[in-house]
Chains A and B, each alone.
Chain A
Amino acid sequence: GDSVTQMEGPVTLSEEAFLTINCTYTATGYPSLFWYVQYPGEGLQLLLKATKADDKGSNKGFEATYRKETTSFHLEKGSVQVSDSAVYFCALSVNNAGNMLTFGGGTRLMVKP
Chain B
Amino acid sequence: GAVVSQHPSWVICKSGTSVKIECRSLDFQATTMFWYRQFPKQSLMLMATSNEGSKATYEQGVEKDKFLINHASLTLSTLTVTSAHPEDSSFYICSAFGQKDGYTFGSGTRLTVV
Contact = CB atoms under 8 A, between A and B. Distances in A.
B34 A106 contact: no
Contacts, number: 45
Interface of A: 34, 36, 41-46, 49, 89, 93, 96, 98, 100-101, 103-106, 108
Nearest to A108: B41
B110 A100 contact: no
B67 interface: no
B106 A43 contact: yes
Main secondary structure of the interface of B (DSSP, over half): strand
Interface in B21-55: 31-32, 34, 41-44, 46, 49
B77 interface: no
A18 to B, nearest CB: 25
Interface residues of B, number: 22
Contacts of A89: 43-44
Contact of B93 (A43, A104, A106): A43
Given A41-B110, A43-B107, A46-B103, A98 B42 contact: no
Contact of B105 (A41, A45, A104): A45
Interface in B61-110: 93, 95, 97, 102-108, 110
Contacts of B104: 46
